[in-house]
Structure 1
Amino acid sequence: MIGDVLPTTPNESPNWHRLRHAIRSTWPNRHGRSSDIATLVGCSGGADSVALIRLLAELWAEESNALAPANEAAAKPVAPLVVAHCNHGLRGEESNADEAFVRQLCEQLQLPLVVHHVAQPSESATTGPPSDERTLRGIRRDFFERTAKQHGCRYVAVAHSADDQAETMLHHFIRGTGPLGLAGIAEVSELNTDIVLRRPLLQVRRGTLRAGLREIGQTWREDASNQHTVYTRNWIRHDVLPLIESRYPNAVEAIHRAGTLQHELNEMMRRLAERWLEAFTDFSDDRWIIRTQRLSQSTNPERGTVDTDTTCDWMFERPVIVAASQLAWDRLGWSRGSMTMQHWQRLSGLINDRSSWHTSSGATPADKADDGIDHGGHFPGGICVSIETEQLVLRSE
């Protein structure tokens, strides 16, 4: 049973009241209840994740109390609400203090807690523990997925805020990311076919979360490393974004809106890419087969006719081919981590190079330049391209 939560009123806690309304409006409601689906909540001990736990705990408690009949023993229980904390051990006693804080919070709210301690290297090890953000994020993601499965949770909730969204999009922008990166963080995404990752606070400002916690007297932990602007993400948070907001006060909302529009464009591109894959390619074991004969015939799926001039047709547009290639990588389980935009564009060029469609079977595309970059038929992750009879074949070596 979830512990009792002190009620609040709009007059006493206006920010917290708005947050409660926000969580109700964004959290799925099935048959009049939001607490019908088992949920795992990631908590670092920071303000954002503490606010998310408190908000979901209140929601679960309210619905449990509202549905309790006179005979409390016959009350229908709400689905589990489980908390997950990952102790990376990177800050010594501070990391352990974070864990202790989360344990105390879960005891107060009577919520089950699962803690994962990241294995630390031995004293004789030549390398230290993983510390780059991508690796740490992958560790947490695997932990959340594994724990959600163990506890039968359909949802995993994490506490990214509107500020996180703006910082992420700015970071992606200055790195020259592609369309997917420019859309920022998705509010809903899949961890796997059975588990959904939800970010219900993605439209809430970080300052509002902290103000709400202060109103209800809830403390949180601060990670001192988040203040170090030597890290690009922290530099954007503490220096760049405040400077932008000094001239454009609504910058975070505007950036968030731009991400939403980009997401809509990405969804349209995904649908075109899926049609491209269905029309011109096949999959066999660990191979992606591009039927160049179908491309050369240039059958237009919308009109069902053969076009004589297709150089400007959507099926030969590079963004469509790149998006289709990325979907193919995902379908085959090939890692996209080392594939840069340059690689995707080169692959699109190979697919669009009609002169290679009639090259002898078994050949590989020739190198185009001597600049230290493989311009031929090899790509990161051991993926190679070969030319066979009226088809290009990509396979994992």
Structure 2
Amino acid sequence: MMMHPIVQHALEQRPDLLQIYANVRDCGRLADQIGDVPAEVFRGLDVAALNRNGMAIGGSAQAIRKVADLCVVNEVYGHADPALAISLPGGSLTLAVVDFASRAQKERILAFFDTDRPVWGAFAVTEPASGTDATRMNTVATKTSGGYLLNGEKCFIGNAGRSAYVIVFATVDPRRGQFGIRPFFVPVPTPGLVIDDQERMLGLRAVRASRITLRDCFVADEDLIGAGTQLDPARSFAYAQASWNSMRPCLGSLIVGATQRVLDDLADGADGYDPTQCAGVKATLDMYAGRLYSARLLCRRAAALIDAGQASLVASSIAKTYASDCARACIEHVMNLPSIATHPAFDDFVRWRRDFHAFNIMEGTGDIHRLMIAREKNRQRTTLVPLGNGNGDAVHTLQEIRIPSPA
């Protein structure tokens, strides 16, 4: 079994990851076949620690580890099996709201995971009619005595069918755009909350993306995330965006690990190829080794910016988008190699080809991230320039300034 030195080093430095790596790697094919997380994946594991995903629980709730550390963990998980890694128990994106939840809310959410049975949380933002613009939200939260009534639909919500609770984003005033959006904590089951877990995806089958319907679903005032804190509720969506931005380098690292697994398995199984076929494999390994190293560095750089408290939105978008593009290009190239169907890992390549194309729509589609990157670059190239108005007066107008690339 071939393993890249970076992954091997991570496992040597973190022996607690060895068992989960082995279990996820062994159960990847079965998870794809049954479209679920096999019970075998938890064999010999500290499930409570797996639930916490790096969080400390007890007394007061504490934040997750540094993003740079989580990038290393996610690269190891992705190398084992990307679909099953995403399906592992824990709070996932719901932990993004922990940063601006009240102390009581933090302890209530994190207490779900302090158990020896697997527990999932689901994060419900995406809606059928809003496309990639999450601020065009149709799920409405109507104020009523003692709380809110939620009405609307969510779609493509990962792990919702197995979740213990859902963080649902809904608007209290559609006219206010993102400033009317609020996150709500909804335990499962709750009257009025229906989770349809029957849809199956072409790729990442173990994730089980679900549709959620809310019909007069009552949520108490104290379950409005951030209630009882000094944070501005109108900034809830902005707080959440800033928090879940830290998840993108982690996802990028998981994608990097999965792509590295493709290259490792490709090299490991090419011993029986003739010289011509071996030349094609070697060219592929050489071509994508550099690209993958660049993707890894982009993820680590974005993580370092986040851990340092610096602006990281564009860096995170670049890291996730580049890693996703690299993964899809790599697996397509591998699948078009001569005689690849005779490779011992061919069946894995087939399912990873399905899985890798789903990366483009996770954590924001690739096109949305490219738009964000372009807007930021355009903002950096734009300044106020005094122009004459014909009457001798100076008029300050926005003009685009093209900054030459360094030689």
**TM-score range with shorter-chain normalisation?**
under 0.3
TM-score, normalised by the number of residues in structure 1: 0.27
Higher relative contact order (CA 8 A, sep 6+): 2
TM-score, normalised by the number of residues in structure 2: 0.27
* Structure with the bigger percentage of helix: 2
Compare CA radii of gyration and give the structure with the larger one. 1
* Structure with the bigger percentage of strand: 2
